[in-house]
Structure 1
Amino acid sequence: MSTKGYFAFPPSSTSRPFPTLIPPSPDIREEFVDDSAPGKRDETPSKEPRDNEELTNRLHKEQELIEKSEIEWVRGGGVLRDAHGRRDKARTERIRAELKLQEEEKQKIARWRDYEERWKALGASDKALSFADIPWPLRTAPSCQNTDTFTPPAISEFLFESLSVRANTVTRKSRIRSSILRWHPDKSSPVISRVVAEDVDAVREGIHTVFHCLKSLQDNERDNNV
């Protein structure tokens, strides 16, 4: 039975997300010169870093490589070990938690981008539309022509989930305002005019329901900021 290898990086006292102790770089070597040879010291070019900034940059790159190696090791199911070869559960769990969070953020962003792309595609086409072709603001597309799932909680879950991504700069107020403009019944005529006859009533009802849910969210947001 083969034993799976692992990386063993000792912990560091820094406050970086995945602290490690940077091992000496194999590229940083002392140069020894023969003082007995006249002019030898002056003729030998120094291979030491020119200044502290160069050394800092080199160590920073090494730190990044170590962290990437640890992340990929844990992503593949591995467990980190400390300088003594013991399982480092705390550090391993921190990386696992970060990987899980990154995956969740990726899915949130993907759902919102897909929603926006569907709206762009809808506006760029003139084909007939069915109820299912409408990019409804829900995490799960409604089945058939059921608008009972169009509720403020369900719509807010979808509208606001991507706002929790750490790189987000959009506010709830801005997201609600842009959504109200999109779903305003007075602006729905171009969409409804393309809906097949058997789905017109359901689409019209869905648009009005979404709009009123958005207005409710806007009122709640205003009340919470008073």
Structure 2
Amino acid sequence: MFTSVSSKAFSFASPSTSFEQTPVNPSPSSSSTPTKGYLAFPRGRPPTHEERFRAFLHKSSSNPPVIVPLPESNGAKERLDTAWREREQSEVERKRAREAKEREEALKGEKDWVRSGGVLRDAEGRRDYARTAEVRKLVEVEDAQRRALSRWEAYETAWTKLNTSTELLSFGDIPWPLTSKPDNPGQLRDKTAIAQFLFETLHIPGVKSSRKDRLRTSLLRWHPDKLGALIARVKEEDVEAVKDAVDAVVISLMELQEQEKVVVDHP
């Protein structure tokens, strides 16, 4: 809307003459195009916060920021390298452990199959007699170790029960240090047989006793001063045989003690 109109704004010639409208207060800059990157605001009032924010976004989109990477310090690079090496080493160790477990499980399966009488086969499905014989040897060693451990555990368990019992005993009730029960005292004069029984489990993985430990424990166990109460419980008809057998065991142990140079503090 115009508030005032100048008479000079219109000119009339005749009824057929056309007229033209002259803009009021023309501005030289009204026809210029705004510079790219800027938004024009109406004159006479300051821009609002929203208008300034929109102008800022318009300018930012025209000139995106340039991100300059910061240089890494030597300490940070070393820590990164160390972490990477540790990760690689950890991965290698996990792989080795996984492969070892797989080999262990595969060998266990082969042992079980051979133990049951089966014959192993190679990757092409052919009977592998060489591998079967190799695994059979491992099975025989394991089974022998298992039997030896069972004998020793039974020996120790029998002594524990014997010391806590009050029943009468016969010659066969006493746990003698041999792989099989003796029939007479003469069999206990063989120090080699006694040594075989005492030491046969020491080479088995997991057994921590030594030859000297076994000898020391056995000499204390078979000492005559500690067996008085036990012999008093032996049936009359077996007393002499038990005494002879105990003497034979002590003599064999003393000979082994001399060989092993074991020192025993007698009770």
> TM-score of the superposition, structure 2-length normalised?
0.59
TM-fit CA distance, 1:218: 0.6
Q: Which has the larger radius of gyration?
A: 2
Structure 2 counterpart SS, 1:156? helix
User: Mapping of 1:1-226 within 5 angstroms?
Assistant: 58-143=98-183, 146-151=184-189, 152-222=191-261
CA gap 1:131/1:93 in 2 versus in 1, 3 angstroms: same
SS of 1:141's partner is: coil
Once residues 249 and 176 of structure 2 are traced to their aligned partners in structure 1, the CA distance between those partners, rounded to angstroms, is 8
Aligned length: 172
Change (3 A) 1:89 1:179: same
Larger RCO, structure (CA 8 Å, separation 6 or more): 1
What is the rounded CA distance, in whole Å, between the counterparts of 2:212 and 2:161 in structure 1?
A: 26
What SS is found at the alignment partner of 2:187?
A: coil
Question: Which residue is equivalent to 1:6?
Answer: none
**CA distance in 2: counterparts of 1:171 and 1:119, whole angstroms:** 20
Provide the C-alpha distance between the structure 1 equivalents of 2:102 and 2:260, rounded to a whole number of angstroms: 46
How many Å apart are 1:61 and its aligned residue?
4.4
Give the drift of 1:108: 0.6
Higher alpha-carbon deviation: 160-169 or 194-203: 160-169
> Judging changes above 3 Å, is the alpha-carbon distance between structure 1 residues 199 and 61 closer, same or farther for their aligned structure 2 residues?
closer
AA in 2 matched with 1:156: A
Percent identity, please.
44
Structure 1 moving runs of 4+ over 6 Å:
none
**Cα displacement (A) at 1:148:** 0.9
User: Offset at 1:62?
Assistant: 3.8
Where does the alignment leave 5 or more consecutive residues of structure 1 unmatched? 1-49
Q: Distance in 1 between matches of 2:200 and 2:172?
A: 22
User: TM-score if structure 1 supplies the norm length?
Assistant: 0.68
Shift of 1:57: 5.2
